[in-house]
């Protein structure tokens, strides 16, 4: 094989190493695909010795590119809502986002290659490098972070291995998952490699053992007085134009399902992030037919939790080209004998860059970028997430759309406010992504917030997947509405668990794992230096 053909073969192997774990994610769940991390470890160990960091970065970046193209291709579906103006952008947007996210894999690969000693300790260095850069991706990318499909969230939420998120959180579980999956990349030639494989097998057994124990001890029967929640899924796809007829149809569907007869009257009604396609300021104004219709649909004592947007006059000094601020919000409307009352408001904090707002707006708008990405005036981020406590219902932590991806948000809000919520409410508008894998992935990722916090979750979307999730991240039996379904879920709110280890300690255990990786680097380097010949590396396969 020539040098050029060998280089292309190695690049192809890097692509395969990224594709494999992508198909381990939900909804595919092909867990042997996690061995792609072992292939990547092997490829990095044999990076071109003439330019090892460059070679490692390229191999890591190619693996990451394949991983993210396979994981987030469904984002392109959103551009076909306005197909005439935006359809052409879909492949470029998917490619650009995947290429940008792949930088985290490339950076991790280069860091690993630069630090890892030539012995089995390098396995922990690899796990630390990968998850450190995944943390950066989840907190820095696109300014707000995009923690989609972390390695630790590969496991199906509610399964035995996923329960370790209650101890370590999603990032700590990612460290463990990568270390286990990459262990076969050490080979079996050395004693250290064989020990590493045995420890990885023991760690995998520990994940399953702890998870099975936690699930066996679970008692998720709702308390007799638990509130009855109704999730409304009106099956209202995103439209290119919301005229009066479209608005009336969406309102009719939501109201029809809100008033659907049931053996017991629901205490809480949940509408999705889409709610009604107009501002709260408009359709809840006194005297409007929509306000009267919502008031008539609710009975005294019921609370409606609905997503939508609201408008405020911009304060002096705020950057607002039209003089107004727009918020992607959730509101609580409580019905009493006297009528409707607004009892709580939550504004989305983590906004989607180039979807809900334009980063560096005042600088990029004059260049025409806002018109290109069709952001419009964009939303203003709300304060950091905090629980809300409408009267008559248990306190809750709202998470709007992709806020449900962020590990520790509910914990941080509870600590800052001094109020631990009894449940999490995730309203989303996954209708943008049609009948793709996106909504299934989102459901799985959101469910990890329940595992981490020991809190049940109620999830409402306009077109699916709406669900009730218990405090172990499992779907309540029969409480899932699929894609394209029109209907309701009526369910008693599952109970919350006592605070989890993650709820108490946050990301401290994950930080400890990164310190273990740093210690492994130091220990492995020391052992390598003591060996004859110094800190040699594994032989190179050559090429890029």
Query: Helix and strand tally (H, E) in the chain?
Result: 17, 11
Q: Distance of CA 510 to CAs 31, 106, 174, 502, 515, Å? A: 23, 21, 9, 10, 9
Alpha carbon distance 365, 11 (integer Å): 39
Question: Do 303 and 343 meet the contact criterion of CB atoms below 8 Å apart?
Answer: yes
Angstrom distance (rounded) from CA 519 to CA 369 = 46
From the list 156, 348, 370, 479, the catalytic residue is 348
198 annotated active-site: no
Residue 272 in contact with residue 233, Cβ under 8 Å?
yes
In angstroms, rounded to a whole number, what is the distance separating the alpha carbons of residues 26 and 154?
Answer: 7
Under DSSP, the state recorded for 463 is S
**Whole-number Cα distances in Å, 471 to 31, 477, 512:** 24, 14, 26
From 153, 370, 401, 452, active-site residue: 401
Task: Note whether 357 and 382 are within 8 A (CB).
Answer: no
Distance between first and last Cα of the chain: 14
Residue pair 385/408 in contact (Cβ under 8 Å)? The answer is no
Alpha-carbon gap, residue 316 to 313, rounded angstroms: 9
Please provide the DSSP assignment of 397-439 as one string.
Answer: EEEEGGGGGSTTHHHHHHHHHT---SEEEEE--GGGGTTSSHH
**Helix or strand or coil: residue 506?**
coil
Q: Are strands 228-233 and 487-492 parallel, antiparallel or unpaired?
A: antiparallel
Residue 156 is among the residues annotated as catalytic for this protein: no
CA dist., res. 159 & res. 211, Å (int): 7
Quick check: helix, strand or coil at residue 483?
coil
- Phi and psi at 354, nearest 5°, equal 65, 0
Q: Are strands 423-427 and 396-400 parallel, antiparallel or unpaired?
A: parallel
Q: Which candidate in 134, 273, 356, 472 is catalytic?
A: 273
Q: Rounded to an integer, what distance in angstroms lies between the CA atom of residue 167 and that of residue 179?
A: 17
At 401, list the tokens.
Answer: 């759309």
What are the tokens at 273? 């992030």
- Rounded CA-CA distance 169/172 in Å is 5
Query: CA-to-CA distance for 191 and 510, rounded, in angstroms?
Result: 28
Write out the two tokens for 249: 């149809």
Cα–Cα distance measured from residue 124 to residue 517, given in angstroms and rounded to the nearest whole number: 5
Residue 239 neighbours by CB distance under 10 Å: 14
348 as an active site residue: the answer is yes
Which residues are marked as active site? Answer: 273, 348, 401
């Amino acid at each position: 094989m020539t040098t050029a053909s060998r280089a292309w073969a190695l690049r192809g192997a890097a692509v395969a190493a990224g594709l494999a774990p992508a198909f381990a994610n939900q909804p595919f769940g092909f867990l042997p695909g996690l061995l792609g991390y072992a292939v990547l470890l092997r490829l990095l160990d044999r990076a071109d010795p003439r330019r090892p960091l460059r070679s490692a970065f390229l191999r890591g970046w190619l693996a990451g590119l394949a991983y993210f193209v396979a994981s987030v291709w469904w984002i392109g579906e959103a551009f076909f809502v306005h197909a005439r103006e935006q359809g052409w952008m879909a492949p470029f947007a998917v490619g650009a986002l995947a290429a940008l996210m792949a930088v985290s894999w490339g950076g991790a690969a280069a860091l690993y290659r630069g630090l890892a000693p030539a012995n089995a300790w390098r396995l922990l260095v690899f796990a630390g490098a990968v998850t450190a850069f995944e943390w950066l991706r989840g907190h820095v990318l696109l300014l707000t972070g995009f923690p989609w499909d972390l390695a630790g969230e590969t496991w199906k939420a509610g399964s035995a291995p996923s329960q370790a998120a209650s101890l370590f959180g999603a990032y700590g579980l990612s460290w463990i998952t990568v270390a286990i999956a990459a262990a076969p990349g050490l080979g079996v030639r050395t004693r250290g490699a064989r020990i590493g494989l045995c420890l990885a097998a023991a760690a995998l057994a520990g994940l399953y053992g702890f998870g099975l124990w936690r699930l066996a001890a679970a008692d998720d029967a709702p308390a007799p007085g638990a509130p009855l929640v109704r999730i409304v899924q009106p099956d209202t796809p995103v439209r290119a134009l919301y005229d009066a007829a479209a608005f009336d149809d969406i309102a009719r569907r939501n109201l029809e399902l809100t008033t659907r007869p049931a053996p017991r009257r629901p205490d809480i009604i949940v509408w999705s992030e889409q709610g009604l396609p107009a501002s709260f300021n408009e359709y809840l104004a006194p005297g409007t037919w929509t306000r009267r219709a919502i008031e008539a649909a609710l009975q005294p004592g019921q609370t409606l939790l609905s997503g939508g947007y609201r408008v405020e006059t911009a304060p002096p000094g705020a950057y607002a080209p039209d003089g107004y601020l727009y918020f992607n919000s959730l509101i609580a409307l409580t019905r009493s004998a006297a009528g409707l009352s607004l009892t709580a408001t939550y504004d989305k904090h983590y906004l989607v860059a180039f979807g809900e707002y334009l980063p560096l707006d005042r600088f990029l708008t004059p260049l025409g970028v806002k018109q290109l990405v069709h952001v419009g005036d964009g939303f203003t981020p709300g304060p950091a997430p905090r629980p809300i406590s409408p009267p008559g219902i248990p306190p809750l932590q709202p998470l709007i759309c992709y806020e449900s991806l962020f590990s520790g948000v509910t914990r941080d809000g509870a600590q800052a406010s001094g109020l631990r919520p009894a449940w999490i409410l995730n309203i989303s508008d996954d209708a943008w992504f049609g009948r793709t894998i996106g909504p299934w992935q989102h459901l799985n990722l959101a469910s990890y917030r329940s595992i981490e916090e020991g809190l049940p979750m109620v999830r409402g979307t306009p077109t699916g997947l709406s669900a009730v999730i218990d405090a172990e991240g499992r779907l309540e039996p029969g409480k899932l509405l699929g894609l394209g379904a029109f209907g309701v879920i009526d369910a008693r709110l599952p109970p919350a668990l006592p605070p989890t280890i993650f709820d108490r300690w946050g990301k401290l255990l994950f930080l400890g794992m990164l310190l273990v990786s740093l210690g492994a680097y130091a220990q492995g380097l020391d052992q390598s230096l003591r060996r004859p010949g110094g800190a040699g590396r594994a032989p190179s396969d050559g090429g890029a």
